[in-house]
Structure 1
Amino acid sequence: MAETDVNEILRTRIIDVDESKWKPSDKIPLINKEIEQAKAEMKTFLQNSDFDIETMLHEGKELIIESKTLILEMERCKNQIEEETLKEILDSMENHDIIGKELKSVNFCLNILNDVLQIGNFIKAFDVGTEFQSYLKAVEAVFDLLRYIEKPAEGVQDLHLFDSTKVTAQLTYKNLIFDMCKEWDRMVACTSDHGPESTVIKMNLTLDKTTSTLDVLKALDKCGTLVDKIALFAHFILRELILPIIRNDCTVFAETSELMTVTIVYRDNYKPPYDEVITNLRLLFHYLSDRLNISFTNLNTPIITMIGRLVCEEFRDVLVNDCLLDTIPNNIVQLRKYDKVTRVVEDFQNFLHAAKFFHDENFTILNYLQNIDELFAAKASQHFLVSARSLMFNDLSESILIGVENIPEDPKDDEKCDDEMIEQGLEVFHQTIPRSLFFFPRCMISRAAQELLDLVYVGMEQASQCSYIVSKKLYYTARLIFELYDAVVPYHHENFLQTIPQYAALFHNNCMFLAHHMLTFGDRWHSLMQGRDLDYAVGFVDLVPKLRELGCRHLAAHMQQQRKQILDNIRTSDLNCIVVKDVLGDNAEAAVRQCLRQLQLLKNVWIGVLPRNVFIRLMATLINMFIDELIHRVCTVEDISMEMATQLNEMYSLVVQKVPQLFPDGTDVNTYVKSWIKLQELVFVLGGSLRDIDVHWDDGSGPLAKHFTTDELRSLIKALFQNTQIRANLLSKIK
């Protein structure tokens, strides 16, 4: 039968494509017709088919009936099984529960008995160890017992045996540890006798490789106590023996193979030399290696090595920092011989490896030599700074004479310069720059200043022979020395600089002397470093003004004190109250003489110390101030009696007589003291007549007119002379 396509039948047989309007009622007959036709075709198809449909339907019904019969039979079998076997199953389960409970009870008892038996075995093992005097076996038995009873079987904890056994085991374990620690303290016995001046340490090590010693060591190791004991002993060796040997005066003496005595003597500001330190350390480590070279574990690690692991790094650091760094020389000559120290230290290092104190073959004490240049630079710098500071503390009054009195003439060259341009350049150079720039004037400086300069020159020469790192460090050290001079000397000698004129003068000269040499320091440094590429600017010129200002400032401060003393002498005498007195007291002349004595003392102290031109200018400044004060006292008075005028004339004449003697050359007073002629004219006025004054006035062209203002001269005439016609005539001329 062919497959029927309903949509195709409707489109071709029932509904006309060209028909636009149709009704369903019109199409129903057509549809019924098609249905009947389809039924007929189906019937024909079934009749012609090879299968017997009716027979198949009959067989299916019979199978349904047979299946229902089997289901009923299975239900009867199920009910029968449930009725007959369920009771037997319940009985079996009840018997199983009873048997399980009995088995659990048996296992519970068996576990308890097993734990009790095991505890008994541990106790028996402990008794055996005690009987044979073996700490190791006893410790292992108790240790295993304590570990075993940490997790007992169920029910064991409820036994009275458990609590008593646990407490007994713990007490026994502690007693064993205590006894073994006593044995350790007996084998490693150290005593210290401390005193105010010295300490005596005795160390008696009876450790050996006998069975009893190894038994104690292994037992302590089993308990975990040996590591702590060795750590304590290691730190005792480090703190009480090694560090004092490095830092103090010590004597190490092995009295016997088991007994060693270390005597530590306390001395202020003392550091033992490196070779003495290494000798004492060799004796100590030789003794320790001989007594502690004992291995008690499978790792074959001796006690001396265990101690070394704990303290070797700190030991190395202290040895290097507190001893070996001190061996670094501070000059290039000793640095070239430093390989002697290196060999000694390297030999000592090999000895420590052989003694098994150093556990690592690569462990070394000589690491500090990797930075030998930096260490040498730091040591040399420190040496120069300490030496410079020490020189700065020296007495300034210990002086020496330096400089030139007169600038020498240029030596005449016998041979002319071949290069005409060079000859012309040198001629211009000599004409432009004064030759005095290259010479220091004759004066006195402190010996310490010269020694300080020599010290800097030594550092400069040493820098020229060293590596780049050292030379750069020494350059900055040289600058730092001059900066240190500014900070140290004025502070340390402050009291002397303020009170003693010689100190002030010498300090001024020292500053000028150092500044003078610093002008050429940079060029000298470059010349010594010829051939090297310097990546830093070399120069000292920037320090010159600072150092010069330092010397001038302290000398000026001392000048202010001298000025104040002179003014105080005058202002505390009758010269300060001429207005209210007719006659001056004796203190007026005494004050003037005191000022002259003060100036004479300054001359005696300063002449020959300061350069001649500086001395003259300083004396001229003080004298000019002194004379100005004397003139001011007279010129500001409205009335002076004849007796007072006579006194003033005598006192001021004394000043005129004494002042030229304060200079190396008496004529210097006319050149450098501005008020000198004015004082002489004042003395003339005080002792002269009106006619003499008129002659010296000379209608405004005489010496009085040059040195006195008209107001000063008129006031002075009014104060000295009575109001007469002659005075009036003279005053009328002075306008």
Structure 2
Amino acid sequence: MASFVAEVLASSGKLEKEDLSGKVSKMSRKVEDTKEEVCEMINKRYSDFLPTLQGSEDLMVQVETVSKEMDALKTCIETEVRPNIHMAVAEYTKLKQQLEKNTVIITMLGHLKEFHSAMEEFNKALQEKKYVDAANQLERARDNVDSLKSWKISQLPLLSAINSELTVQRENLIYHLGDEWKRLVIWTLPSSKEPAGQKSFLKVELNLSNACNGDGELKPSALLCCILQALAIQGELQHKIKLFSQVLLKNMLKPLVMYASLSVRVTEQQDEGTILALQCLEESHEERSAPSQVYSKLLLVLKTLHSHLLDVSIGDKKLSAILGELIWEELSRCIIHECLVHSIPTNSSQLEKYNTVIKETEDFEKSLKEMEYLHGDSTDLLKYARDVNCHFASKKCKDVIVAARKLMTSKMHNTVKITPESKLRLPKLPAPSSEVKVKQDIVKEEAMMENSKQLSAWSLRLPACRISESVQQLMELALNTLCEAVGSSTQCALQLFFTVRNIFQLFYDVVPTYHKENLLKFPHLAAIQHNNCMYLAHHLLTLGHHFRSHLPNPLSDGVATFVDMVPGFRKLGAQCFLTQLNVQRAELLERLSTAHNFCNLDDEDNYIAASKAVRQVIHQLKQLGTVWQDVLPVGIYCKAMGNLLNTAITEVIAKIMMLEDISSEDGEHLHTLCQTIIEEGPLVFIPLAEEHKNRKYQEEVPLYVKKWSTFKELVIVLRANLQEIVDRWADSKGPLAVEFSSSEVKSLIRALFQNTERRAVALTKIKQSAPYSS
């Protein structure tokens, strides 16, 4: 039965022999068949790698035929059905959806055709070394793959296959381009195993080949352009030039700046090309090159590169401009730090001669701009050269910083003794101006009114300790520099004063980093560093006050102070020593971890292990006492040793409290081990063995070891009977209750005594008492 649309069209005399619905259905089958065949062909071509060239060409013809039939059918529908659409909306919609689906499929098939065609052209161009055409065809293939990916309904199994093929062929092209580049630009570099130095750079050569390739079809310049343009199309040019720039900087440009005896030799050879090689000038014995020599050597290299390699335009940009952007910042920084810095005059009489260097720098940059290595008017290099007056003033302070850094990086273990009577050797300064003197008189009057609140004679005095000799010299350097600031111009005084501040800031930053490993490894150095920081902090409190009235404004108005740096130095010293204490604490715990948790000591091996661990702990504490005696202030020494001993006995207490069953023999062994600690532990609190008056620190062990009383009470319990334990508990009022809770005491009783009626009675007495927590 004919459809409603067919009946309408038949009545109007516009229907052909075959109705539209039948045509669309027939066309859909054709499209599906064609789709399957195309997919099968593409799969074979790009996934299964079967030679199906002839079949693919037939299929392409078939695709074009079906496409033309689709266009004719679409025209028929648009011209004949649309006027009567109001009579067949539902059926027309269905037909249109089917048509659109077929159109999508045809579009996809078209993309597959374009992809196949582009890949064929790519392979052909690559074989003929038409690298630009090959790169363009690869991008064309990529566009078609991207279009296929954009169709959400296109879940073709072969999509991953053609995408992989695209990736493989791109890598193939990049490989060929890289291979061609290596034939045109040949580096000879020293072995990476050789130590970097002037001698190793004498092996550096750069060969820029200008010979024709094997078949003589392309000249190097044309081939180079093709290679560079193809790399640019594939987005690899920047990476390739970046690698070249890194090698050029490291092995040729920077060595020419850094080593005065190095120069570059350019050799033109008709067959082998142009060779740039580094050579040594035997007649040159200068440590640093003059700016004019550096500029001359660099220009020779860059001009040679420009004429043989970089005078190529990529789009609207020359290759020399791309290279310049990559190397200029680092190259100019190298010129400044390795050349211009050392060319700054050391006295004012030479300042006028420095104009020659400024002119040479301007000419150097002008030549680079002509070759398009540089763009713009002002650069950091020229700006640095022109600011010679500023750099000249800064150089006056540089020697001070260099001397200070040398002291900071010297060995710390050479020490001097500091006593409370030790004072800085302050220079005699000129009398302050009248205005400053009036201010001082007012301050003195106010101080006289406060006589009733005088400080102790020991106020603002350092305790006896040892500091590094280099730190004492550093303080003397700071004093001498501040003395130079007295009577100088305002600008010079400001620079000298802030140079002194920089000295201390440098100490704060450099010493902990430079000596980091030694400060962690050697307890002796950590203690010295602690004292060094406290010594500097102590003198920074009053250093600015001593010089302030003798310095020009604004220093005399309160700017000349170092007080703000005091908390930082105190914190730095404390952190350094605390870090070392943590290292020692970890070592103590590690030694005690070998004691097998102090269990089953009736076994000989276990007892030997536990005894060895205890002896090692005592030995470590004695060793620390030896290296810290006469170095740390007495108070700090006792606190540090007390902290470490407390760590050890706390760990021993915890291990013993964890034991669930302690036999009488175990108890005796535990008591023996603990008694060793009680007898030998206090001996480490004699800061100076030859001073008998310091023996009082042994009697004050509980002040420095928080768990000392707890430990002694535990030792008593290990040998006590049940009645003695109950008596020491004394209804939560005895010494045992002060150190342990009721639950801890009951655990000890259960571990030490067998389950008897007497033990039950004792536990009841402990239980009935109110627990006490220390």
Q: TM-score, normalised by structure 1?
A: 0.48
Q: TM-score, normalised by structure 2?
A: 0.46
Question: Which has the larger Rg?
Answer: 1
